Chain A
Amino acid sequence: MVTSRRTYLQFAMAIGVAVALAASALAQVAPGAAFPPLAADGLAGGPLPDTSGKVVIVDFWASWCAPCKASFPAYSRLQGEFAARGLVVVGISVDESPAAYAAFVARLKPSFATLHDSKHALVALVQVPTMPTSYLVDREGKVRFVHAGFHGDATERELRSEIEGLLGGRAGAP
């Protein structure tokens, strides 16, 4: 009787832990959280840029997403402007088709690194709220700002100011 009770309690606890783990696995990456390591998720499409000790913008995009296309020139400008001071921009495509990914990159010729998350492993881990979404990650690998969507000059202005803060060591909250 005691053994059965213990077994049932363990079973119930296991289910509880499974539910909690599932819930946490589906949680969005928010400011203050550590960004998942890019190297761990089998990204294809090119060599992984060196991001250690750098301020990193990780931008999730797709070839079928119009604002993503509009954001590429802005990210190219930011990469050109801040790379020497320690900024790395990485564009992660969530296209299902490798051909669509390759054609988009060939057409837009971004100056920053692009990778292909063909199995949606990383994007599912991060749980991006919309397309595109970019994460500004500080030198310690912690997410400092999240930009859901791309709103032209306004987003670029905000990013520039936030990057300046992080590169200059005057990063604001959180």
Chain B
Amino acid sequence: MKRFPKKLIVLAGLAAMALAAGGCSTSAVRVRPWERAALADEVMNPNPDPLGAAMSEHVYFSRAAASGGQGVGGSGCGCN
């Protein structure tokens, strides 16, 4: 059984790690600008009806005498 020098094993390991780490780089995992057709679709708009949203907010303000708070996470439990 041949024994390989420690240095070479370390070198090969480092090269393999560099290769593996390359796959995690932002250029490899992010959605490219030319691949965003689905993200640009109207159905992905979080506020597709700004006028309707403004009117709902006004009704809420008039009824509850409170304003703001939209978009804040949590459900009143105080846990976040």
Contact = CB atoms under 8 A, between A and B. Distances in A.
Nearest to A95: B37
Given A8-B11, A26-B27, A131 B18 contact: no
Given A15-B15, A19-B18, A23-B22, A8 B40 contact: no
A128 B15 contact: no
Interface stretch (B1-9, B48-56, B59-67, B68-76): B1-9
A62 interface: yes
A-B CB proximity, top 8 nearest: A94-B34, A15-B15, A64-B40, A8-B8, A123-B34, A12-B15, A64-B37, A131-B33
A130 B4 contact: no
Interface residues of A, number: 29
By size class, the interface of chain B is 20 to 34
Main SS class of interface, B: helix
A140 B40 CA distance: 36
Contacts, number: 58
Contacts of B28: 26
Interface of A: 1, 4-5, 8-9, 11-12, 15-16, 18-19, 22-23, 26, 60, 62, 64-65, 94-96, 120, 123-124, 128-131, 133
